[in-house]
Chain A
Amino acid sequence: MGDKKYNIIVAVAGNPNVGKSTLFNILTGKIAHVANWPGVTVERKEGEKVYKGRKIRFVDLPGTYGISATSLEEVIAREYIISGEPDVVLVLVDGTAPERTLYLPVQILELTPNVVIAITKSDLIHRVGIHIHVDKLEEILKVPVVEVSAIHGSGLRELLDAIIAVAEGRRRRKETLKIDYGGLEPFISEIEKIVRKSEILSEYPPRWLAIRLLEGDPRLEDIIRSRDGEDLLKNVRRVVEAVRRGIGKEPVELITTARFNYVDSVAREVVVRIRIEEKEGIFEKMVKHEVISIFVSSLLLISVFSIIFTLNSGFPLNLIFRLLGWMSIAEMLETYSIIGLMNELFNLLAGFLTQYLTELNTPSWLVSLLADGVISGVGSILSFLPLIILTFFLLSLLEDSGIAARLAYSFNSLLNKFGLSGRAIYPLVISLGCNVPGVLSSRAALEEEERVQIIISTPFVPCQARLIVILAFITTYFSSSIIQALVMFVIYLIALAIAMLTSLIIRRVLYGKSEPPLFLLEIPPIHKPSLKVVWWLTWDYSKHFLKKAGLIILSLSIATWFLLNYGPMGFATSPKDSFAAIIGKILTPFLSLYGISQEKAWMIGFALFQGLIAKEGLIESIAMLQGEGTSIKGALLALELTPVQAFSLLLLFTLYVPCIPTIASIKQEVSENKLVLIAVGLMLSIAIFLSLLVSTLLLWLWAG
């Protein structure tokens, strides 16, 4: 049921780190369409190419090592291949590691004969001393094999020609690949007979089905059960039992080994490796020494975030310049921070619009809605965008260069202490930018338990929106820059400690596991990142922020405008008579626990509600409550907080709940309402308990 608009549809499959994104990008030039795979939030990218009069659509499958359905990605890849939509499956083989990466095309060839193999990184192959006999490989596998280099753009025409030839039936294998499974063959044919008779899974090739069922495939078993195939499963189990008794080994081990033996035999015939002493780069050396590797990795992460923080707000470089006595540079950094400039821009814009619309005799409520509601709302999204993009750009640079895998390796031991594996470093670091993609990237975890730990604990990591709130408060309420830095440091430390402890407690208490999660990760060679791919990754992450946060922040701004400007009596002349004040007053008794006076409490109360929807809205709503023309600093000062109150409120603000979009992503990822409730309950109770505790303790110390 392919799309009639396209002559040929190509599914692109490959291992992670095989250079798939780069090749996909070069082949298609641009991404034509990005959506999610049906029912899941794994991204589906499509691109198109017109070549020799044919419109070819490329569909990027998730990077997988196989199609055994051990992960969501593998299920997606397999079910798309079997769906009948793709005319050709293009499978990528890493030219620098053919022995391992030939496994995927062999596994796919058992499922469909319509395959083209591309050997990637052809520019690198010879340099590392590898020669691949392409013709021979074609002869053995009976499908076109093309060496390509995305960097040099070589081999792309041949690849497209091969794709067309297979799609149009000129160079196609007649049937799927049959690997000889030796002693297992009688068992395979027995299951094949059972499968053919039952016709429950007629869309799959019977032999492939038989092999998969023998290996054990939870996904297929689920499908069979959903089609009332209990009898079929019972018969299969009988055969599996017979193998276990007869051969004394697990069928899955026998089959994978046989498949790899076949791959090895093919590789022996087509791959020649000349031993070239591999030069060890600084990173290769680094990962070998644990202490050095943690040191270098931490340094790397700290520098990345120093760049981001500095461009964002001037901090912490401004502090360093101040200490060095270079006041003018420090001030320049503070004035020309991205957020500062963007805010300036939108204030100007709102001013112009107000003037222009007033001249046109537009009703004043509409002017106010557009200027104060819409522009300031859009402004608050856009002022974050450069920052978010920058954060993800630097992180994508780490990812595409192969450094990220080394970070994961380096941090494994440290994270083990908190019940996480090195793979968690990525979601944690991303969360410093924005919690939404942080929660989504929890999929990096191998174990379900670790994934849930990451999902529930990463929202405690202060994101850039919270950084803005923290910065606004500390620059208002603490005069010395040393104390400002100290307060900031303590808040980050507390928040990160809570994130780590939460993870550990969930693992120990909820799952009752005392040992750290298993860790398994390919460490790709360090390479120069492709800017195109980096941009692509950056855009992927940033989009989540834009789409989810964008719409919500915009509607929130309009809602806020309404709540602030209208009250039970209609249009409110002062915010005190507005709906906002009524909402804010709900929290007055709670805020009085922090010693905040009645007349100020409702503003903070309302800001807390606003902060639920988007943290940066917290500061804005305080500014809006003070009336137009109040600077953020002025508005915050008007709250008349003591330093102790400011600090404890900051803790509350940082910890209570990141934002609604983050909660929505948690829900999407855990799909269990109980866990969502646990997560939110945990955040609220920790935030309230800890900030009150700190407030009480500090006041007691102050008085004592």
Chain B
Amino acid sequence: MVSDIHTTLEAVPPGKKARITGLDAGPGLATRLMQMGLTPGVEVEVISRNRGPILVKVRGVMIALSRGMAKKIFVKII
């Protein structure tokens, strides 16, 4: 069964994949995120989620982002 939960990247458990549905960031920050490959529609794999920043793999690249940042990224868990 495919779960179909809309949430933010901050809440995705490690090992799970999610698809970005939107960004809630100002234009400058949004552009930065998107230039690093975090665009709506892309698949993101959460590598680790400890107390610190979240590690994700997107478009073949590992990216660390703070929880505050991850909360601004809406996703659908797949």
| Residue in A288, A422, A520, A524 whose Cβ sees the most chain B Cβ within 10 Å | A520
Contact (Cβ within 8 A) B34 A260: yes
Q: Which of A103, A289, A422, A522 contacts B53 (CB 8 A)?
A: A422
Q: Which of B56-78 contact A (CB under 8 A)?
A: 58-66, 68-69
Tell me the smallest distance from the CB of A273 to a CB of chain B, in Å.
8
* A518 interface contact, C-beta 8 A: yes
Are A257 and B34 in touch, CB under 8 angstroms? Answer: yes
Distance in angstroms between the alpha carbons of A480 and B36 in the assembled complex: 54
How many angstroms from the CA of A539 to the CA of B69 in the assembled complex?
A: 35
Chain B nearest CB: distance from A375 CB in Å? 50
Q: Is the CB of A520 within 8 A of B69?
A: yes
> Chain A residues with Cβ under 8 A from B28's Cβ?
70, 218
Contacts of B68 in A (CB 8 A): 515-516, 518-519
- Give the number of residues in B that approach A within 8 Å (Cβ atoms): 35
Task: Give 1 or 0 for each of B22-59: 1 = CB within 8 Å of chain A CB.
Answer: 11000111111111110111100001101111010011
Distance to closest chain B CB from A323 (angstroms): 36
A261 within 8 A of B: yes
B38 to chain A, nearest CB (A): 9
Return B61 CB to nearest CB of chain A, in Å: 5
Nearest chain B residue, comparing its CB with the CB of A271? B60
Could you tell me the distance between the alpha carbons of A70 and B58 in the complex, rounded to whole angstroms? 21
A291–B30 CA distance with the chains assembled, in angstroms: 31
Closest to B65 in A: A520
> Which A residues are in CB contact (< 8 Å) with B40?
253, 257
Q: Mark A412-433, 1 if CB is under 8 A from B, else 0.
A: 1100100001100000000000
Is residue A409 within 8 Å, beta carbon to beta carbon, of the partner chain?
yes
Q: How far is the CA of A97 from the CA of B63 in the complex (A)?
A: 12
Q: Are A520 and B36 in contact (CB under 8 A)?
A: yes
CA distance A70 to B32 in the complex (A): 7
**Residue A66 CB within 8 A of the other chain:** yes
**Are A252 and B37 closer than 8 Å at their CB atoms?**
no
Are A409 and B59 closer than 8 Å at their CB atoms?
no
Note all chain A residues with C-beta closer than 8 A to B34.
Answer: 252-253, 256-257, 260
From A68, which residue of chain B is reached at the shortest CB distance?
B31
B31 touches A103 (CB 8 A): no
Given known pairs A65-B36, A409-B53, A412-B52, the reply for A522 and B61 (CB within 8 Å) is yes
Which residues from chain B contact A519 at a C-beta distance below 8 Å?
53, 64-66, 68-69
CB neighbours of A422 from chain B (8 A) = 53, 64
Q: Is there contact, CB below 8 Å, between A100 and B39? A: no
Within 8 A of B (CB), among A240-285: 250, 252-253, 256-257, 260-261, 264, 273
Candidates A66, A253, A260, A525; contact of B23 at CB < 8 Å: A253
Q: A525 to chain B: which residues have CB within 8 Å? A: 62
Q: Please name the residue on chain B nearest to A523 by beta carbon.
A: B62
| B27 in contact with A252 (CB, 8 Å) | yes
Range for the number of chain A residues in contact with chain B: 35 or more
Pair B27/A520 contact, Cβ less than 8 Å: no
Cβ-Cβ contact count across A and B, 8 Å cutoff = 126
Q: Which residues of chain B are within 8 angstroms of A99 by Cβ–Cβ distance?
A: 37, 59-60
Complex partner residue of B63 from A68, A96, A216, A522, CB under 8 angstroms: A522
Chain B residue with the shortest CB-CB distance to A103: B35
| Given known A99-B59, A518-B68, A523-B63, contact A257–B39 (CB-CB < 8 A) | yes
- Inter-chain contacts of B59 with A (CB < 8 A): 97, 99-100
Residues of the B chain whose Cβ atoms lie less than 8 Å from the Cβ of A190: none
Taking CB atoms and an 8 Å cut-off, the chain A residues in 510-540 that contact chain B are: 515-525
Does A446 interact with chain B (Cβ within 8 Å)? yes
* A446 CA / B68 CA spacing, docked (Å): 14
Q: Taking CB as reference atom, which chain B residue is nearest A521?
A: B64
Which residues on the A side are within 8 Å of B23 (C-beta)? 253
CB proximity of A62 to chain B, nearest CB, Å:
14
Interface flag for A290 (CB, 8 Å): yes
Q: Verify A256–B55 contact, CB threshold 8 A.
A: no
How far is it, in angstroms, between the C-alpha of A510 and the C-alpha of B34 when the chains are bound?
30
A290–B50 contact, CB under 8 A?
yes
Complex CA distance for A257 and B68, rounded to whole angstroms: 22
Q: Contacts A252-B30, A290-B51 known; A521 to B35 CB distance under 8 Å?
A: no
* Interface pair A516/B66, CB less than 8 Å apart: yes
A113 within 8 Å of B by Cβ? no
- The smallest beta-carbon distance between B60 and chain A, in angstroms, is 4
**A518-B63 Cα distance, complex, nearest whole Å:** 13
CA distance A66 to B23 in the complex (A): 18
In the complex the two chains form, is B66's CB within 8 Å of A287's CB?
A: no
| Shortest distance from the beta carbon of A366 to any chain B beta carbon, whole Å | 59
Report how far A216 CA is from B68 CA in the complex, Å: 24
B residues 2-38 touching A (CB-CB < 8 Å): 22-23, 27-37
**B48, A520: Cβ atoms closer than 8 Å:** no
Other-chain residue from B35, B53, B60 in contact with A68 (beta carbon distance below 8 A):
B35
Question: In the bound complex, do residue B64 and residue A523 qualify as a contact, i.e. CB atoms below 8 Å apart?
Answer: yes
A289-B50, A413-B51 given; A257·B41 CB < 8 A: yes
In the bound complex, what is the Cα–Cα distance between A144 and B68 (angstroms)?
Answer: 41
Q: Which residues of B are at the interface with A, using a C-beta cutoff of 8 A?
A: 22-23, 27-37, 39-42, 47-48, 50-53, 55, 58-66, 68-69
Query: Could you tell me which A residues sit within 8 Å of B by CB distance?
Result: 65-66, 68, 70, 96-100, 103, 215-216, 218, 250, 252-253, 256-257, 260-261, 264, 273, 287-290, 293, 405, 408-410, 412-413, 416, 421-422, 446, 515-525
A-B contact pairs, 8 of them (CB 8 A): A70-B35, A100-B37, A103-B35, A252-B27, A253-B22, A257-B40, A288-B55, A409-B53
In the complex, besides A99-B37, A408-B64, A520-B32, 6 extra interface pairs with C-beta distance below 8 angstroms are: A98-B60, A253-B34, A288-B55, A413-B51, A515-B68, A518-B29
